Structure 1
């Protein structure tokens, strides 16, 4: 069929009623015509009729998939025309010209001329976006500089006009404009980007992300529950052919969801360049918090939430474990990443914008951000957040801002406090929320009242008083960290006096079964430092340091000499170097090293008493495996490595050189080991 005859046929098909069976054929013929028509006027006519065609647009089923197909048509046609033009330009042997014979600039100009008043502005955006993608995407430079700038200007002008018109700025029209900008944003010059009406774009973007064209407020998670069946062997089965899974795949394939990475960066850029940030950002943060809250609620009502993440392989059928659940989690992960990336730009704007950094808004915005992170913690906790820099920034920045407002910080912690204080909840999701509470509350004891800090300790109690199973181990460690954070706050001296004895008992009971040697050493050293000068507790309870150290020394004298399991290194942060694995130690050696770690915290008069006792503990370490040598090396490092201040260093020099310290530690050998500051070869005058 000739191009002219095909053009007549296609133009006639445009005027018919919508028929999904014929739509693909019509669009396929349109793509072919765009690359073969030789007359620019026909290309303009074809574009004009396509953008107004009842067969394409006059349907209640119109969605972003159709809009994406229009972009794809012009993208594919532009790439083909560009290749044809390049081939024709290099044709030196007189072969017939390929395609319609039009140059890239001439063809693109003809397409843009077809975007006329017969169709709404947002459809113009789709056509121009497709041309820009085809001519300039993936490093292609098919257009002249002047025409490229003109097309970018036309795209932004059409997008702004579409968003300004209430009849076009929402639903499919607004979201179609958003879709086109999302696909072309990286191609636009900074000058063109600055012309975008970001204050109009942001509400459309937020609505599209969480609404029916995006994550539909998490409704897809709740719809899954009806399809999850319990098998006779008590496993959960979620079939690939179930309605819930098919709907999940449909959500994941939606144009905005499938390109959520670039989309979230577009929204973040929008937040950073708002002209009137206060109302827009307040609404954005509110919407994100509501979305995350609904997502959490839908997850709670799902049978899959009743399984602890560490037990998933044992409670899911192979199909569920390998196919359906990973697909669900991938979609949840994309929602979490997008939300965090957007919140990062919000927090950055709070730090730099005086209108948002006021007392009236900073605390509420940071609190809302933390609530959103809490609601998404059932996703992020499965991934590990230390390597996700955006999450770390949002979390720590929100905490830093909120810590400036003690009253708001107290209200926030009260709002997320476990609803069952003193007990360990049975549901894994409740334990997950407890873990977020413990990890977040750890940053606030310095700004809270003693009464609020006492409430934090109450939340830690059930996790410290139990022998944790593997699912409870993160909660157990978080409870220890929060307890130490509360006890080390100077304002909590009275509270610490009553809390230290039971905590010390729990600490000793936890080692070595539930705490590694590194964790125990750090915890005990932190605990002892609370009881020594200049902390207020040292004056009111001067016997506490000796009591704790005596308990430690007695435990070391009866400890096992078998090697402890070597735990994996802790997760490295985004900007930190990987932590080397711990040195294998026996329980006895670990306790002796803990005693040595504590020496720099002691007052000088107490140090005089405990140096020989520490030396005795080192001499009591069994020599098997070189453990005594390890302890001797650590003793020397504590004395000589700079951990002591000047006064304590003087006490150590005197003890080492004149009071038999070297012999006590090294066993009286001939090896001459001198501390820094000791005088060699000096004899007494008498």
Structure 2
């Protein structure tokens, strides 16, 4: 069929709606015509009729129809550019391929077809297709002047479409956002600044969370709409379960959420009305709350990651289950990527960084991240840079406002676990973990009563409950160990604050008892050493506790030293490496590179770690006692590890000048060199007989005999 007859057939087909198969043929015919018509007037005519065609627009297939309009003009532009390059290489007499129009002529003819008969948002689809087809992927088919004109036309069409909500309607608004996700990376910075970001923000957020986007998390509600034994319904791809996830994943905006979040971020960064930024944050918070509530009602929320392989069949793990979590992670990445410019603007915008608004912005951001934590806590998904900036910056902001810190912790405080109560759900444990991790950063901003009730009470209850569960061999889930470690960190953060000294003194006996009771079954050697070292710093100068309770530090040392005398000498299993995405992965040695470590060796190393912080009068005494404990390590390899660490503390500069002087004297004239290098017992003049362990100041057997 000739091109003219094909054009006539296409124009006739545009007039009435058809079935999907016939509509597909119409799109294919249009693409062919755009690449082969030689008359600019025919191209303009084709475009004008396409944008008003009943066959296309009377029953559109959602945003897929908009995407197909962009696609056919993108394809037509690519073919035109490629045909021009191929025709330039033809020999004399060979017939040229495709349209004889130059790219500038073709683009101008298409633009003329986007006339007043069709709305502006449809013009944007056509113009975006031309721009992407001719100027993306390092293609430069247009002159700089025509490209700039085309970019300005894209921006103008977008602005006018958003300014006319009646003609544009909800469908057209989503079409504008879809087109801009493709056009924005190509636009020059000058033309980007011409976009009306105040109108773009609500349109982008609605597209992101609305029916063509994540649909307020309704896909989770569809999954939970089946029976309680919804695993099978999910796997069977029933319309009420996984089919909804598949439909959402296939939508154009869902597939393009990365560019959409960058478009929203651009609009939030450049909006002139700061109130629109706050409204966008409220919308993200409401969306995350809906998502959390829908997940809570979903029967799959009770499946722990450690039990997935036993609960779900392999076919489901690799198919529906994997796709569901891909979608949830996409939700999390999109929301966090949109939150980041809001938090960044809070640091610079006078309207947002004032004392009335800044704590609200930080609190809402943290609450949104909390609602998404059941996703971001899965396999280290919260370790990417944008999340870290958003999270830590929000914490930095809220810590300037003690009332906001108290209010946030009160609103999000988890229920206190009870020993005889049913175990908390997986989701509840995830939210508790977020709470404890966040609370760790806030003690300096809290009054002592608030620190006790909002941080210490939930943290200590989890430590006690975990020890009780361990004693009864309760089943563990993936959050058990992180919760235990987060509780330790939260308690240590409160104890490290000088203003909470009275609270710390009352807490230390309980904490040290819990710490010793948890090692080595519930806490790793590295974590035990870090925790004990932190406590010893707190009770040593210059902290005020060292003045009010001068003997506390030596009492704690005695407890660990006494425990080391009867500790096990068998090697402990190496500490498992964190997820590869974790920033700690590069800092912590792999299991194969970790030196062998026993319970006894860990306790000795904990004593060694505390030497730089001890009160000056007891430094020499505990240098000797630590060396004796080190020599008591039976395994030669483990003893060598302890000796290297002991030597490192003495010579690496960890001790200050005064303690270093004591260390030098002890090494040279106090028998330290012989004790460390030759395993010699402590010299008799130091107040203790060989093999005797007594409180400081007690008389040994030889001294009492002389008396």
TM range (shorter): over 0.9
Distance 2:18 2:155 in 1: 30
Question: Contact 2:578–2:585 (CA<8 Å) still a contact in 1?
Answer: no
Distance 2:595 2:301 in 1: 38
For residues 528-579 of structure 1, give each alpha carbon's deviation from its aligned partner in whole angstroms, at most 9, with x where no partner exists: 1111122122222222111111110011111111111111234575598443
Distance 1:240 1:88 in 2: 53
Q: Which residue of 1 aligns with 2:489?
A: 481
Q: Which residue of 1 aligns with 2:218?
A: 219
For residues 648-673 of structure 1, give each alpha carbon's deviation from its aligned partner in whole angstroms, at most 9, with x where no partner exists: 1111112221221222222368xxxx
Q: Which residue of 2 aligns with 1:566?
A: 574
Distance 1:3 1:89 in 2: 22
Q: Which residue of 2 aligns with 1:388?
A: 384
Equivalent position SS for 2:51: helix
Distance 1:56 1:374 in 2: 43
Question: Contact 1:228–1:238 (CA<8 Å) still a contact in 2?
Answer: no
- What are the equivalent positions in structure 2 for 1:516-665 lying under 5 Å apart? 516-570=524-578, 573-574=582-583, 577-581=586-590, 582-622=594-634, 624-665=635-676
Using the TM superposition, name which of 83-92 and 560-569 deviates more: 83-92
Question: Contact 1:422–1:459 (CA<8 Å) still a contact in 2?
Answer: no
Using the TM superposition, name which of 419-428 and 515-524 deviates more: 419-428
Distance 1:668 1:142 in 2: 82
What is the deviation of 1:463? Answer: 2.3
**Structure 2 gap ranges (5+):** 471-475, 681-707
For residues 123-151 of structure 1, give each alpha carbon's deviation from its aligned partner in whole angstroms, at most 9, with x where no partner exists: 00000111111111222122222211111
What is the deviation of 1:422? Answer: 5.2
For residues 97-123 of structure 1, give each alpha carbon's deviation from its aligned partner in whole angstroms, at most 9, with x where no partner exists: 211211111111110010000000000
Q: Which residue of 2 aligns with 1:368?
A: 364
Distance 2:608 2:529 in 1: 10
- What are the equivalent positions in structure 2 for 1:475-514 lying under 5 Å apart? 475-514=483-522
For residue 439 of structure 2, the aligned residue among 429, 438, 441 is 441
For residues 604-624 of structure 1, give each alpha carbon's deviation from its aligned partner in whole angstroms, at most 9, with x where no partner exists: 0121322221121112111x2
Q: Which residue of 1 aligns with 2:248?
A: 251
Distance 2:614 2:382 in 1: 34
Equivalent position SS for 1:139: coil
Distance 2:573 2:61 in 1: 61
Question: Contact 2:608–2:649 (CA<8 Å) still a contact in 1?
Answer: yes
**Structure 1 gap ranges (5+):** 670-686
Q: Is 1:420 aligned to residue 416 of structure 2? A: yes
Equivalent position SS for 1:24: helix
Distance 2:136 2:426 in 1: 47
Question: Contact 1:227–1:239 (CA<8 Å) still a contact in 2?
Answer: no
For residues 364-388 of structure 1, give each alpha carbon's deviation from its aligned partner in whole angstroms, at most 9, with x where no partner exists: 0111010011000000100314631
Distance 1:660 1:62 in 2: 87
Q: Is 1:406 aligned to residue 402 of structure 2? A: yes
Across the two proteins, how many residue pairs are aligned to each other? 663
Distance 1:585 1:99 in 2: 75
Equivalent position SS for 1:497: helix
C-alpha spacing 1:400/1:655, structure 2 compared with 1 (3 Å) = same
Q: Which residue of 2 aligns with 1:672?
A: none
Distance 1:651 1:135 in 2: 76
C-alpha spacing 1:67/1:130, structure 2 compared with 1 (3 Å) = same
Distance 2:146 2:232 in 1: 59
Distance 1:345 1:580 in 2: 35
Distance 2:555 2:669 in 1: 28
Q: Which residue of 2 aligns with 1:457?
A: 456
Distance 1:237 1:629 in 2: 59
- What are the equivalent positions in structure 2 for 1:330-369 lying under 5 Å apart? 330-369=326-365
Equivalent position SS for 1:563: coil
Equivalent position SS for 1:167: helix
Q: Which residue of 1 aligns with 2:261?
A: 264
Question: Contact 1:292–1:372 (CA<8 Å) still a contact in 2?
Answer: yes
C-alpha spacing 1:208/1:287, structure 2 compared with 1 (3 Å) = same
For residues 59-113 of structure 1, give each alpha carbon's deviation from its aligned partner in whole angstroms, at most 9, with x where no partner exists: 3x55211100100111111111111122222223221121121111111111001
Distance 2:395 2:167 in 1: 40
C-alpha spacing 1:13/1:470, structure 2 compared with 1 (3 Å) = closer
Q: Which residue of 2 aligns with 1:29?
A: 29
C-alpha spacing 1:438/1:575, structure 2 compared with 1 (3 Å) = closer
For residues 470-513 of structure 1, give each alpha carbon's deviation from its aligned partner in whole angstroms, at most 9, with x where no partner exists: 53111011111111111111111111111111111110011111
What is the deviation of 1:236? Answer: 5.9
For residues 210-267 of structure 1, give each alpha carbon's deviation from its aligned partner in whole angstroms, at most 9, with x where no partner exists: 0111000001011102346639xxx766224211211111111111110111111111
Q: Is 1:667 aligned to residue 678 of structure 2? A: yes
Distance 1:294 1:365 in 2: 19
C-alpha spacing 1:552/1:544, structure 2 compared with 1 (3 Å) = same
Q: Which residue of 2 aligns with 1:679?
A: none
Q: Tell me how large the CA RMSD over aligned residues is.
A: 1.8
Question: Contact 1:40–1:110 (CA<8 Å) still a contact in 2?
Answer: yes
* TM-score using structure 2 length: 0.91
* TM-score using structure 1 length: 0.94
Distance 2:19 2:602 in 1: 77
Using the TM superposition, name which of 211-220 and 23-32 deviates more: 23-32
